[in-house]
Copies of this chain bind each other. A is one copy, B any other.
Amino acid sequence: DKLEHDGKLPILPPGVTREVFTKAIVELRNILGGGAEEQTTAAAVVVNDKPLDDGWYLEHPNTHDAFHLYDQEDTVSSATVYPGSVTDVQKIVRWANKYLIPIYPISIGRNLGYGGAAPRVRGSVVIDLGKRMNKVLNIDGGNCSCLVEPGVTYFDLYEAVQKGGYDLWIDTPDLGGGSVLGNALDRGVGYTSYGDHFGNHCGMEVVLPTGDIVRLGMGALPAVEGGDSINPTWQSFQYGYGPYSDGIFTQSNFGIVTKMGFWLMPATEHLTFAITFPREEDFEQIIDIIKPLSARRVFGNVPQIRHAVQELAISGKKRKDVYDNPQEPIPAEVITSVYGPEEQRKDNLKTIRQAFSIIKDAKFVFPDEVPLSHYLHSRVAICAGIPGLTDLNWLQWRPNGSHLFFSPISSVNGQDAQKLYDIVKKRHAEFGFDMMPAFCIAPREMHFIDCLVYDRENADEKRRAVKCMRAMIDDTAKEGYGEYRTHILLADQVAATYNWNNGALMKLNETLKDALDPNGILAPGKAGIWPKRFRDGVQNE
């Protein structure tokens, strides 16, 4: 299983000799400027020749995947470069074209569960955009929008909004340490009305794999005064004129995004609550209750159904506390919010109560009824756009807790939900994992988010985790479900399930890839898309 290399560090990009690599790195340092001393600092280029350290969430590595699936060295970089400007990014890209060295952009690199900061091709040079390009460039209170650089985290953006005194919310995923821009490029989700992060972006600036910069949407109109400043409608209208291309720069390897605009939600009154239900067999019916309410936007956000194991893990319960006491059922719960003026919240809550009244023993739990340490309070914050880190705690369910997300999409209905649940349950039992599923129920589709927690120091457990994932991807594809996002090492398998008409979609993706990145230098293999020179021969893995 172990990948071969010559034992020396750094591990090199495929097809590049140590001599050429060393020369290329010297050149890269010169290109990016700075004196001899500065070049060895974080401000320039750091060669990845030290022992790997998995770190932890706040001190995550940008050298490899902290939650490695196979060997720690499998998705390791040869170096990390820290651009300080868009011009630096262009220089790096042109350099990569010259040496045919694969580059892999990250904004923060906390894409945990999906590959972290790791490149798909071993020995790639990671471009850590976030370290030095981390400014909130603009917040427009009237337009309810912002423009950010890659390194702006949810915590940063939240703070900037607070400091500026704007009456606006941000939307945050479970963890606040990720990049607002990076998460949206991976089409991540949050828990207010603006939870679809790509859907609520407005405007992108992209460095193409050839080194050219383009502004999409209204950003392509010059500013009134001319020059490089920014057109005032860039964060107002998403589509611009002509083909709307923003989407091709998400979940892809077609460009490096250096600026991105986002819409911010006008602050609103809100009530977040849980509806607990003790019987697993009511699950199907509950989905069918949620469906029409969700379509009518009675909920202000995407309700989540969470298996209580996740919550118990967060509240510090041990495995035996939960599973060795079979007389008490393990409950599940729906967590959701209503927003808006009091009358409207009341009206919506009434509708929800009535709809759930047919579920026996369903119980509404409101934040003011539970102690401050209760998990619900952290959801209240998230559902009001306040970033946090509480959800990190469920990683503690296993020692050296790492995890993989298995994230298939289905239509919203009880039958599909049940089928997915059964597949995951069976495979988890087979490979010896506890289940921590959550369903995020949008008006027409559910993100089933299965969190597979494993001990990354246990080689056998890692092997089982990968096998479990691969089996679930195949099982669900057979039933017509597909993943919305996946770990970088599982991307080929997931992409291969989207194979209608002999893989027509991948052929389209490859056509775009070869046109935009003729030398195949940008993130080869990301989303299962390999550039021509890798398809034609240069092997990886």
Question: Measured between C-beta atoms, what is the minimum distance from A67 to chain B in Å?
Answer: 21
Q: Are B443 and A409 in contact (CB under 8 A)?
A: no
Chain B residues with CB under 8 A of A136:
none
Whole-angstrom distance between the Cβ of A344 and the nearest chain B Cβ = 5
**Chain copies in complex:** 2
* A268: Cβ under 8 A from any B Cβ: yes
CB distance from A508 to the nearest CB of B (A): 5
A222 (CB) vs chain B CBs: closest residue: B500
Decide: A202 and B241 in contact? CB cutoff 8 A: no
A87 within 8 A of B: no
A494 to chain B, nearest CB (A): 6
Contacting residues, chain B, for A222 (C-beta < 8 A): 480, 499-500
Q: Is the CB of B409 within 8 A of A233?
A: yes
- B233→A481 contact, CB < 8 A: yes
Known contacts A218-B409, A341-B347; is-contact A208 B481 (Cβ 8 Å):
no
Assess the A240–B347 pair: CB atoms within 8 A: no
A289 to chain B, nearest CB (A): 13
Q: Which residues of B contact A143 (CB under 8 A)?
A: 411-412, 444
- Neighbouring B residues of A485 by C-beta, 8 Å: 241
CA distance A264 to B508 in the complex (A): 29
Instruction: Evaluate contact between A505 and B220: CB separation under 8 angstroms.
Output: yes
The verdict on A511 contacting chain B, using a C-beta distance below 8 Å, is yes
A212-242 CB contacts (< 8 Å) to partner B: 212-216, 218-224, 231-233, 235-237, 239-242
Contacts of A486 in B (CB 8 A): 241
Give the segment of A12-20, A100-108, A243-251 that binds chain B.
A243-251
Q: Does A509 reach chain B (CB closer than 8 Å)?
A: yes
Contact residues in B for A202 (Cβ distance below 8 Å):
444
Q: Does A144 contact B (CB under 8 A)?
A: yes
Which residues in chain A, 482-541, are within 8 Å of chain B measured between CB atoms? 482-486, 494-495, 497-501, 504-505, 507-509, 511-512, 514-516, 527-529
* Residues A411 and B480 in contact, CB atoms below 8 Å apart: no
Q: Which stretch from A290-298, A363-371, A397-405 is at the chain B interface?
A: A290-298
In the assembled complex, 24 residue pairs joining A and B whose CB atoms fall closer than 8 Å, in A order, are A187-B239, A215-B504, A218-B482, A220-B482, A221-B477, A221-B498, A233-B410, A235-B444, A237-B409, A239-B250, A241-B485, A241-B527, A242-B251, A242-B509, A242-B529, A243-B247, A243-B250, A243-B252, A243-B254, A244-B251, A263-B443, A343-B343, A512-B515, A512-B516
